[in-house]
Structure 1
Amino acid sequence: MNILLIKQTSLGDVLHATGHIRRVREYYPDAHLTLLTSVGAADLFHYNPHIDELISFDRYWIKYQWFRHPIVCLRHGLETMAKVRQRNYDLAIDLQGRWKTVLFLWGARAKRRVVKGRWWFATRFHQPELHALRELDGVLEVAGLPRADSQMEIHLSAKEVEFVNDQLARAGITNKRLVVLSPLSRWPTKDWALQRYRALCDALPADCAVVVTGTEDERSMMSTHLTGLATPQVVNLAGQLSLLQLAELMRRAAVVICGDSFPMHVAVACSVPVVALFAPTDERRVGPLSSESIVIRPEQGCDRCYRRRHCSNQCMARIDVSKVVAVVKQVLG
């Protein structure tokens, strides 16, 4: 049996589907599973034992280069479609349901097609009011799979363990409780001010060490705002970690503090406590579901506007430092 699974877009969205990919493997243990995902998310499946074949599509490159290099972009899309069509599938499931993924579902040589959304040519499931993970459960149900555990997962190797061991040893924090901060996201409206993270760090217990994560572009900004903290041990690993190294670091954390971003989902997948700060997005749809997670959002006046660049109510600014400190200390015990 041949099965095609499609999941692209953001890293967090792709990570959401890892438990559902495992469920497909468990239900069809002898099937050949092909996954079509985005180039940026492919590393998440480097050690994944459930995938037989990985096809990657650089959707973000096409998004930003289409008008400058339309011929090259078109060629990449056609080459990816050709890879998808090399195999005949008994079942194809699009766990994303956006037009850029549905094109490949439509083009696949598949006997049955199942999609998240309202696309007319496939068996569909569309209940956007559900949490994203529960909506994916519904997609698998209409595909004929029974409900089961869909906890997210990341598979790592000894290389990631060795790398993180080395980084922590160099910083001299092997015997400290790790507090991991991932302050920034792709949406400015999701970000709690770095000055507030600084105040939070100053209030942490003395036996804690802070590790900051982010992208290479964010590294200097992190250093500027977190220099000279009362907490003596702060390690800035922004831009220094691969996706899988980030996951290994998260596994060591006593608590992860972040907004609605990929690191939040990684921490949940690693089953570590998360204090997640929410405002413009809806935690009922995309928030952490684990029992170790605590969501903090403005107590009133926030309508979950989903604006990416500018929030007229400045909702994240109305999350008080003292409240976050109290919750973090509660988690740390």
Structure 2
Amino acid sequence: MLKDAIDLSTVRRVLVVKLRHHGDVLLSSPVLSVLKTHAPHAEIDALVYHDTRDMLSGHPALSQLFTIDRNWKRLGLRGQLAAEWQLLSGLRARQYDLIVHLTNHKRGAWLSRLLRPRWAVAPGGSFGKFFTNSFSHRYPVIGGNRRHTVETHLDALRRLGIYPAADERRLRLVAGEAAEQSVRQKLAAQGVSAPYLVIHPTSRWLFKTWPAARMAALIEQLRAQGETVVLSAAPDPAELAMLADITDRLSQPVASLAGQLSLKELAALIDSAQAFIGMDSVPMHIAAAMQTPCVALFGPSGDIEWGPWQVPHRLLRAELPCRPCGKDGCGGGKRSECLELIGETQVLAAFNSLMTEVGA
């Protein structure tokens, strides 16, 4: 038995801290669900970066969502200090009994010291005495592409004596009625009706993307077998340029909502799709959260750590001894051979196999 397990019956409020990118935040959503299931009387709050808030807003287990705006530094010293003080005051007013810190960000250590919860848990590792001494519990992190990130997050709870059942570990993302209505209107304007599949060919890290020529060839093959394709992409200029490269290669245009969707709208679009095809990226994790079957292409990133979570899927990767290397392309050259070696016929076969499995 765990000798220093916490007494959940005495926990009134919990703060979950996840200061990372969008996908990382979404993959922390089961932590909220498990805490609420095992301590239904407790209020569960979260602290994330402001631009990632849509990954958790509306989560049924969430009481309050606090955010840190990375643009505070543009306010000048006085403005930034005022924003930080307002945040700290809001957090102090909640009087947390437990802080669950899911990264090695030093802000979590400062919050543990300033908010003085009874318990605080954070990742293990050599992050210095200040970090180490700021927490009552530390959990080991198994790296090297050997454990899914969701399970690593949940290890924070296991370290406290909270053991989640398999059906408690699903990702949760709430699109909301406004986003769903907006997407229905945008699809109708382009003459798209169900069934359709979403292809998101891009990533904020372009070395994790498939060559435009291969993606265009796949779209042509999908369309030839009668599939309705809807393209999506972030409004980032580099991603839109890649979309333009793909669509310029097509014999006929396809529906595209690239650069037109909020994160909530993207979730609504994927939620109503029969399937999703894309890279290791936030939209792939959104597909898993919405339980939309997905085909995911992986290159330099670790598929065990970051693969589609608890959703019917097909994962494609080239079996090279050097992957997953985590590098920005082979030799730092921004092109990943392990992605370029995946052929469009492989992806098409994977899609068709997945559709047969789910009965679509």
TM over 0.5: yes
Which one-letter code corresponds to 1:229 in the other structure? L
Q: Which range is displaced more, 280-289 or 299-308?
A: 299-308
Taking the aligned partners of 1:35 and 1:21, their CA distance within structure 2 comes to 8
Which residues of structure 1 form unaligned runs of 5+? none
Match for residue 120 of structure 1?
132
Partner residue of 2:298?
278
Take 2:100 and 2:151, find their aligned partners in 1: how far apart are those partners? 16
State the partner residue of 1:143: 160
Mapped to 1, the partners of 2:228 and 2:113 lie a distance apart of 50
Name the structure 2 match of 1:202: 220
2:327 is aligned with what amino acid?
Answer: R
Q: Which residue of 2 aligns with 1:111?
A: 118
- Describe the superposition over 1:25-81 as per-residue Cα deviations: whole angstroms up to 9, x where unpaired: 12222222221111012123332232221110124x46xx58x95665455444433
Matched ranges for 1:1-333 at <5 A: 1-59=12-70, 61=71, 72-73=79-80, 75-118=82-125, 119-121=131-133, 122=135, 123-129=137-143, 130-148=147-165, 149-175=168-194, 177-204=195-222, 205-217=224-236, 218-227=239-248, 229-230=250-251, 232=252, 234-308=254-328, 310-311=332-333, 314-333=337-356
Mapped partners of 1:291, 1:215: distance in 2: 23
Letter in structure 1 aligned against 2:23: G
Question: Could you list the runs of 4 or more consecutive aligned residues of structure 1 that deviate by over 4 angstroms after TM superposition?
Answer: 68-75
Structure 2 vs 1, CA of residues 182 and 106 (structure 1 numbering), >3 Å: closer, same or farther? Answer: farther
Question: What CA distance in whole angstroms lies between the structure 2 residues aligned with 1:43 and 1:190?
Answer: 23
Higher deviation after alignment, 70-79 or 195-204 = 70-79
Partners of 1:76 and 1:45 lie apart in 2 by 21
More deviation in 301-310 or 28-37? 301-310
Q: CA deviation at 1:306?
A: 0.9
Q: Give how far 1:97 is off.
A: 3.1
TM-score, scaled relative to structure 1? 0.89
Structure 1 residues 313 and 164: alpha-carbon distance in aligned structure 2, compared to 1, 3 A threshold: closer
After TM superposition, give the deviation of residue 331 of structure 1 in Å. 2.2
Percent of residue pairs identical? 26
Farther off after superposition, 255-264 or 80-89: 80-89
Give the number of equivalent residue pairs: 327
SS at match of 2:228: strand
* TM-score, normalised relative to structure 2: 0.83
The Cα of 1:188 is off from its aligned counterpart by 2.1
Q: Is the 8 A contact 2:99 2:120 kept in 1?
A: yes
Q: Secondary structure at the match of 1:40?
A: helix
Counterpart contact for 1:93–1:105, Cα < 8 Å = no
How big is the shift at 1:261? 0.7
Instruction: Report deviation, 1:290.
Output: 2.6
Q: Which moved more, 1:234-243 or 1:102-111?
A: 102-111
| CA-CA distance at 1:254 after TM superposition | 2.0
Per mean C-alpha deviation after superposition, the further-off stretch among 78-87 and 17-26 is 78-87
Paired residue type of 1:330 = S
Following superposition, the deviation at residue 100 of structure 1 comes to 4.0
Of the structure 1 ranges 186-195 and 213-222, higher mean CA displacement relative to structure 2 is found in: 213-222
Q: Residues 182-225 of structure 1: CA distance to partner in whole angstroms, max 9, x if unpaired?
A: 11112222111122111110111443111111111233541342
CA deviation after TM superposition for structure 1 residue 285, in Å: 1.2
- Check the 8 A contact 2:229/2:254 in 1, yes or no: yes
Distance in 1, matches of 2:344 and 2:80, equals 46
Task: Please tell me whether the aligned partners of residues 247 and 253 of structure 2 are also in contact (alpha carbons under 8 angstroms).
Answer: no
> Does the 8 Å contact 2:23/2:282 carry over to 1?
yes
Report the secondary structure of 1:167's partner residue: helix
State the Cα deviation string for residues 150-175 of structure 1 (Å, max 9, x = none): 10011232222211211121111214
CA RMSD of aligned residues (A): 2.3
Q: Please give the alpha-carbon distance, in whole angstroms, between the structure 1 residues aligned to 2:311 and 2:40.
A: 30
Q: Partners in 2 of 1:128 and 1:78 — Cα distance?
A: 35
Amino acid paired to 1:303: R
Output the CA distance in 1 between the equivalents of 2:340 and 2:78: 44
Q: 1:219 touches 1:236 (CA, 8 Å); kept in 2?
A: no
**Cα offset, 1:313, TM superposition:** 5.9
